[in-house]
Amino acid sequence: MSTTDEPSTTDEPDAPASGGPPVPARGRWTAALNGFLPAVSAALALGLIVGLLMVGAAPGGHHHDGALASSGDGAAPSSSSGASLPGKGKKVTLEFEEGDMYIKPNKVTVPAGADVTVHVVNKGSQAHTLSLLGKTNKQLEPGKSETQHWGVLTESTQAWCVIPGHKDAGMLVEVNVTGGESTKAAGAEAKGTEAEGGTAAAAGSGATGDTANAKIDPAAKPAAGWKPFDPTAPADDGKDVHEATFTVTEKEIEVAPGVKQTRWTYNGTAPGPTLRGKVGDTFRIKLVNKGSMGHSIDFHASKVAPNVEMRTIKPGETLVYEFTARFSGIFTYHCGSDPMIYHMGNGMHGALIVDPPDLPKVDKELVLIQSELYLGPQGKPGDLKKMQAGDYDAVVFNGYHNQYVHAPIKVKPGDRVRVWIDDGGPNENIAFHVVGTIFDTVWKEGAYTLRKGNKEKGGAQVLDLQPTQGGFVEFTLPDAGTYPFLGHKMKNMAAGGLGVFQVG
Residues marked as binding for Cu cation? 295, 300, 334-335, 343, 348, 488
Beta carbons of 372 and 428 less than 8 angstroms apart: yes
Buried b (16+ CB within 10 A) or exposed e, 278-311: beebebebebbbebbbbbbbbbbbbeeeeeebbb
DSSP β-ladder status, 430-434 and 394-397: unpaired
CB atoms near residue 358 (< 10 Å): 5
List beta partners, residue 340.
none
From the number of C-beta atoms within 10 Å of its C-beta (0-12, 13-18, 19+), residue 49 rates as middle
Quick one: which of 230, 237, 229, 219 has its CA closest to 281? 237
- For 289, list phi and psi in degrees, rounded to 5: -95, 105
Tell me how far apart the alpha carbons of residues 369 and 355 are, in angstroms, rounded to a whole number.
17
Q: Which residues fall in the annotated binding site?
A: 295, 300, 334-335, 343, 348, 488
- The three-point CA angle 144-150-153 to 5° equals 145
Beta bridge partners of 147: 119
**Residue 293's closest CA among 381, 395, 182?**
381
SS3 385: helix
CA distance 129 to 163: 7
Q: Which of 84, 77, 67 is nearest to 176 (CA)?
A: 67
Please name which of 475, 476, 407 lies closest in space to residue 443, comparing C-alpha atoms: 475
Give the integer Cα–Cα distance in Å for 87 and 135.
Answer: 24
| Sign of the alpha-carbon dihedral angle for 379, 405, 3, 277 | positive
What single-letter DSSP state applies at residue 38? G
Contact (CB, 8 A) for 55 and 105: yes
Is the backbone of residue 179 left (phi > 0), alpha (psi -120 to 50) or beta? left
Question: Phi and psi of 32, rounded to 5°?
Answer: -65, -45
| Distance spanning both ends of the chain, measured CA to CA | 29
Contact residues for 476 (Cβ-Cβ < 8 A; gap 6+): 414, 415, 416, 417, 437
Q: Which H, E and C letters describe 68-123, residue by residue?
A: ECCCCCCCCCCCCCCCCCCCCCCEEEEEEEEECCEEECCEEEEECCCEEEEEEEEC
